[in-house]
């Protein structure tokens, strides 16, 4: 099963390419962002580029093992196509419905396995951290996340489906964390390690 996808962006050269994943059994959203540093971007500054996004979907009528196999296949295909160097996954939340929680956990396990098979480091973020990065508010709605991603990432339209938008927000959350860590490290190096 092929994951749904946006048209590919032009290759951006060396940079940090991150795959964000929003696990779900019916639809696992994915989004690929690249952070291109000042030495690489044409403007001499960091640029954030959307390489692609979409969702790997499964049919509810299929047996569970087949649904999980299709999710794994789709995520492996996304990893192979975009060659990320890091993966950011939204943590599972505690659902009121036990069945929903188990299904999300199974989809999340497939996402972690696909990343591990590719030898990629995985970073996990809570839903509130992801929404905070996208909207500046840890309890933003799906529509707010989609619209803020459109604005922050310079997209013509809000990313669809919502699962893909959540995956892009997860990748954005990770890149913002990595950017902050790099700035702290650079400031420490400039001060000679003095507090």
2 in Cβ contact with 140 (< 8 Å): no
**Cα dihedral value 63, 64, 65, 66, nearest 10:** 50
Among 86, 147, 163, 166, the one annotated catalytic: 163
* Active-site residue identified among 90, 129, 147, 166: 90
CA distances from 194 to 55, 65, 178, 182, 183 (A): 46, 55, 22, 17, 15
CA distance 59 to 41: 42
Q: Give, rounded to a whole angstrom, the gap between the first and last alpha carbons of the chain.
A: 53
How many residues are given for the chain?
195
- Catalytic, 47? Answer no
Contacts (Cβ under 8 Å, ≥6 apart) of 176? 133
List 50's β-bridge partners, or say none.
33
Candidates 22, 86, 129, 166; catalytic one: 22
Give Dmax over CA atoms of the chain in angstroms. Answer: 61
- Which positions are annotated as active-site residues? 22, 90, 163
């Amino acid at each position: 099963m092929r994951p749904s996808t946006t048209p590919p962006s032009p290759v951006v050269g060396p940079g940090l390419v991150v795959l964000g994943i929003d696990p779900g059994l019916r639809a696992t959203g994915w989004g690929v962002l690249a952070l291109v540093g000042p030495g690489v971007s044409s403007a001499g500054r960091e640029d954030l580029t959307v390489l692609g996004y979409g969702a790997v979907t499964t049919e509810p009528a299929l047996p569970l093992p087949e649904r999980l196999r299709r999710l794994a296949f789709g995520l492996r295909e996304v990893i192979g196509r975009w060659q990320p160097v890091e993966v950011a996954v939204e943590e599972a939340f505690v659902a009121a419905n036990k069945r929903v929680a188990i299904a999300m956990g199974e989809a999340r396990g497939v996402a972690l396995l696909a990343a591990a098979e590719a030898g990629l480091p995985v970073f996990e973020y809570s839903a509130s951290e992801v929404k905070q990065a996208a909207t500046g508010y840890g309890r933003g709605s799906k529509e707010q996340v989609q619209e803020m991603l459109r604005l922050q990432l310079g997209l013509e339209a809000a990313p669809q489906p919502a699962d893909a938008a959540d995956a892009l927000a997860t990748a954005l959350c990770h890149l913002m964390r990595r950017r902050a860590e790099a700035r702290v490290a650079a400031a420490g190096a400039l001060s000679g390690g003095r507090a």
